[in-house]
Amino acid sequence: MANDSNRFQAIISHCKEYGFIFPSSEIYDGLQAVYDYGQWGSELKKNIKDYWWDSMTRMHENIVGIDAAIFMHPTTWKASGHVDNFNDPMIDNKDSKKRYRVDHLIEAFSDELRAAGQNDKADAVLADMDALLAKDDFAGLKKLIEENKIKCAVSGTYNWTDIRQFNLMFSTEFGSTVSSEDADNKVYLRPETAQGIFVNFLNVQKSGRMKIPFGIAQIGKAFRNEIVARQFIFRMREFEQMEMQFFIQPGTQKKWYEFWKEERLKWHTSLGIPADKYRFHDHIKLAHYADAACDIEFEFPMGFKELEGIHSRTDFDLRNHQEYSKKKQQYFDNDIDPATGKPYGNYIPYVIETSIGLDRMFLAVISHAYTEEDLSTPEKKDDRVVLKLPPRLAPMKLAILPLVKKDGLPEIARQIMDECKLHFRCFYEEKDTIGKRYRRMDAIGTPFCVTVDHQSKEDNTVTIRHRDSMKQERVPITSVKELVLNAIR
C-alpha cells in the first residue's frame, strides 16, 4: 500500500503555492478541516462538477438534476434517521482533552504498525475493530485500545474516557430566538444532499412526467462535524457531494445496483486514470438504510480510501418520509406485470444511490496528476513539477504567449486569444522568459501553450507545446482552436 506522506505534503504545498487550495480564513490561522478553493482550484472543481453533471444528466435521458436548499425542515432528519443514528463512537484523552473517532484512532495505530513492518498485527487489530464496531461493543473497543497501548498523539498518554456516541450534524436556529434551546427553531445544516432529492421525489416525478426507472441528480454542500479531520480535503467539515438517487421497481435492486457499480467505475476510468488506482470495497456492516453497499476506493497518497459510495437504499427514505409527513410517496406504475397480466400499480420505489465527494474527487485527480520530473542532462541539472491533468478538467486549456512584448507579436497573440476564449479558458502572458512561462503553465496543468514568434508574422504559424511530452510543433494559427477542442471534448 502506497503511503507516501512526503508526496502528500508536496501536493498540499503545491495546491497552496499555485492557487488551488488555501486554508480557510488563513490570516486568522485557518479553521480546522475547512478549505477555500483558489483561482485555479475553483476552475478545476467546476470542471469536475460539469463532467459529472453532464455525464449524469446529458448521457442518461432518464436522469434530471435539481438544486435543493441546504436548510430543510427538521423533521426530514428525524425521518432519515440522522437525528438518532448519525453518530460515531468517540473517545477523549483525559490529559490532552482531545477527542478522537474510535475507528480513526485504531486505523492510525494500524498504519503505524504497517509502517513498522507488522502487517499481520495491523490486519488483526483492524479485524477485531470491525467485529466490535459491528456489535456496537464499546467496552470491547476501549479494551482493544488499552490492550494495544494506543496513545494520544498530543499528550502521549493512555488515559482514556469511556467511549460515547456523538452526532455529526451541525445545528443552528431559525429566526429570532428567545432561547437557543427552543427545539422548534432548531434547524440542521444538511449532512448529505440525498434528502433534498427524496423530499422532491414526487415534485420531480409529476412535473417532469418521469417514468420509473429514473434518477435525480444533485450537487451541493454538505456539513459534518467530523472530529478527526486532518487529511487535507479528504475529510472536511464543509464539503460538496455529487449524488444521484435512482428510483426503481422493488425487487429490481440487485440488477440496478450492479449496473450503477459498473457505470460509475466506467465514469472514473473514462478520465484516463488507470483502472488499478480504483477498487471496490463491499460493506459488511450496512448503514441503517441499506440492503447492499460498497465503496469505490481510490489509491490516494495515503493509501486506498473511500472516494464514492454506491448504496442500495431500499424504500427506507421514501417510506419514512411518507410516515413522518403523512403524505403518500407512491408511484403508479402502469406497465404490465407479465406475471399477472395487470399493471404493477402503486408502490413506493426502491432506490440505488451513487454518492461521490467532489472534494475527494478533486484530491484523487490532483494527486494522480502531480508529477515531479527530473529533466537533467549531462550539461545541466533541471527538473519540473507538472500536473498531468486530463485536458478536459484542466483549469486552463491554452496559454497564449508572445515571445517578446513588441514587434507586433502581442497583437497576433491577442487575436488568437479573441478567437479561442469563446470556446475554452485561455491564459495570456507576456512577462518572463518563455521557459519560465512554460513551467508555470506545467505547474497548473495547462495542456497546451502556443508561442507567437517572428516567424508567425511571416507565415501565420505558431509553435504549440504539449505539456506532458514537452514536444513542440509548428502549426497554422487557424488550426489551434480545433486542436485544443479535439483534446478536451
Query: What residues line the site for ligand ATP (CB under 6 A)?
Result: 192, 224, 226, 235-236, 239, 241, 306-309, 355-357, 359-360
| Smallest separation (angstroms) from ligand ATP to the CB of 193 | 9
Nearer to ligand ATP, 23 or 357 (CB): 357
What pairing do the DSSP bridges indicate for beta strands 448-452 and 398-402?
A: parallel
| Residue 134 burial by Cβ neighbours in a 10 Å radius (0-12, 13-18, 19+) | exposed
Beta strands in 116-265 (DSSP E): 164-167, 171-173, 186-188, 214-223, 238-248
Taking CA atoms, 434 is separated from 73, 152, 482, in Å, by 57, 51, 24
Nearer to ligand ATP, 224 or 397 (CB): 224
Q: Report which of 162, 141, 170, 166 is spatially closest to residue 87, judged by C-alpha positions.
A: 166
What pairing do the DSSP bridges indicate for beta strands 461-466 and 472-476?
A: antiparallel
| Smallest separation (angstroms) from ligand ATP to the CB of 16 | 18
Nearer to ligand ATP, 48 or 450 (CB): 48
Instruction: Say how far apart CA 129 and CA 108 lie, in whole Å.
Output: 12
Nearer to ligand ATP, 249 or 355 (CB): 355
Q: Which residue is nearest to ligand ATP (CB)?
A: 357
- List of residues 6+ apart from 28 with CB closer than 8 A: none
| Smallest separation (angstroms) from ligand ATP to the CB of 35 | 10
| Smallest separation (angstroms) from ligand ATP to the CB of 173 | 24
Residue with cell 438517487: 245
Instruction: Say how far apart CA 235 and CA 378 lie, in whole Å.
Output: 44
Q: Report which of 461, 153, 201 is spatially closest to residue 322, judged by C-alpha positions.
A: 201
| Smallest separation (angstroms) from ligand ATP to the CB of 307 | 6
Instruction: Say how far apart CA 432 and CA 453 lie, in whole Å.
Output: 15
Nearer to ligand ATP, 8 or 331 (CB): 8
| Smallest separation (angstroms) from ligand ATP to the CB of 407 | 51
| Smallest separation (angstroms) from ligand ATP to the CB of 457 | 51
Nearer to ligand ATP, 196 or 357 (CB): 357
Nearer to ligand ATP, 294 or 462 (CB): 294
User: Cell triple for residue 482?
Assistant: 480545433
User: Cell triple for residue 23?
Assistant: 486554508
Nearer to ligand ATP, 86 or 109 (CB): 86
Instruction: Say how far apart CA 59 and CA 57 lie, in whole Å.
Output: 6
- For 452, the enclosing helix (H) or strand (E) is strand 448-452
| Smallest separation (angstroms) from ligand ATP to the CB of 238 | 8
